[in-house]
Amino acid sequence: MNNIQNAPFMVDFIRTVTNMYTHGWDERNGGNVSLLLENDELYTYLDQDSVIRTIPTGFDAPELIGKCFLVTGTGKYFKNVQYDPENNLGIVRIGKDGKTAELLWGFCDGGRFTSEFPAHMMSHTIRLGIDPEHRVVMHCHPCNLLAMTFIHDLDEREFTRTLWRMITECMVVFPDGINVLPWMLCGTNEIGLATAEKMKTARLVVWAQHGIYGTGKDLDEAFGLIETAEKAAEVYMKIAHLPIKQSITDKELQIVADAFGVKAREGWLEL
Ligand code: 13P
Ligand code: ZN
């Protein structure tokens, strides 16, 4: 067996959560990430028959049976992951009943996966149905996006149009826009279902007064989506209280979309 700590997916994952921490998106235990692994690759590092323990998930995910995920642990600090991955991270496989997770590696102090496991797994299910190359769900608490949910209309079309206007390339990065959930209690199946529903039409979902979810085919794509949305929100928070002299028009946003070969969310530009 190869050493799993040297696996490219493990190295990439640890670098990414460390980077999220240094961006200030993950105070204390804030945020969580899950990465869908390729079983053939994983089983060159782990014996697929060695299940350390099984953990009930509290929901049914029949579409994910047999799939393996590298996931952050509940209550664990992103800043510590690089120094002790086996304690702060785990690899789980969704069991044959669809309702349990089989721990194959990690959570070695007896811990378990993030409290947002329902939102992660339900979002994976939806995004995989839309894009078979989808692999990552990422959640964090970036300051400016969070701040924006206190002062901006939460209508997702208006929220997105504001952010599209803040940096020319937002249209290129997230033409599908950002969906928004009102405040809800976190860590529940209910917010998981609501998040997954919002994932049907966008790869980014804001949780008002809490944070954001980004998804993608790899860690870079999910990170880059959040990074770009957060930068746009930062520009907004710097200018929202100032008189605006000029901005990007919807016609110009359409010119950007055409130039980069992307399609803005249907009906979201006023042309
Ligand atoms: P966990 O520590 O359970 O991952 O929770 C952090 C969080 O951000 C909850 O939304
Ligand atoms: Zn959170």
Output the pLDDT for position 243.
Answer: 98
Output the pLDDT for position 3.
Answer: 96
Give the atom of ligand 1 at the shortest distance from the alpha carbon of 141.
8
CA distance readout (Å), 1 to 7, 17, 35, 47, 91: 11, 26, 21, 8, 16
Catalytic member of 102, 116, 156, 227? 116
Output the pLDDT for position 14.
Answer: 99
Contact at 8 Å (CB) between 12 and 85?
Answer: no
Query: In 131-215, which ranges are continuous DSSP H helix?
Result: 143-151, 156-166, 170-173, 189-198
Q: Which residues contact 108 (CB under 8 A, 6 or more apart)?
A: 86, 87
Ligand 1, CB cutoff 6 Å, lining residues: 29-32, 72, 74-75, 114-116, 139, 186-187
Low-confidence ranges of the chain (pLDDT < 70): none
Angstrom distance (rounded) from CA 248 to CA 162: 10
Instruction: Give the tokens for residue 269.
Output: 């530009």
Gap from CA of 7 to ligand 1 centroid (Å): 25
Output the pLDDT for position 152.
Answer: 98
pTM for this prediction: 0.98
Output the pLDDT for position 1.
Answer: 85
| 227 catalytically annotated | no
CA distance readout (Å), 239 to 13, 93, 146, 236: 34, 46, 16, 5
Angstrom distance (rounded) from CA 127 to CA 122: 9
Residue type, 79: K
Residue type, 114: T
Contact at 8 Å (CB) between 158 and 42?
Answer: no
Gap from CA of 223 to ligand 2 centroid (Å): 15
Q: Which of 26, 116, 186 to mutate to test the pocket of ligand 1 (most atoms within 8 A of CB)?
A: 116
Give strand ranges (E) for 17-151: 32-36, 53-56, 68-72, 89-94, 100-106, 136-140
pLDDT in tens, 181-219: 999 999 999 999 999 999 999 999 999 999 999 999 999
Angstrom distance (rounded) from CA 226 to CA 216: 11
Gap from CA of 1 to ligand 2 centroid (Å): 35
Residue type, 161: R
Give the atom of ligand 1 at the shortest distance from the alpha carbon of 139.
8
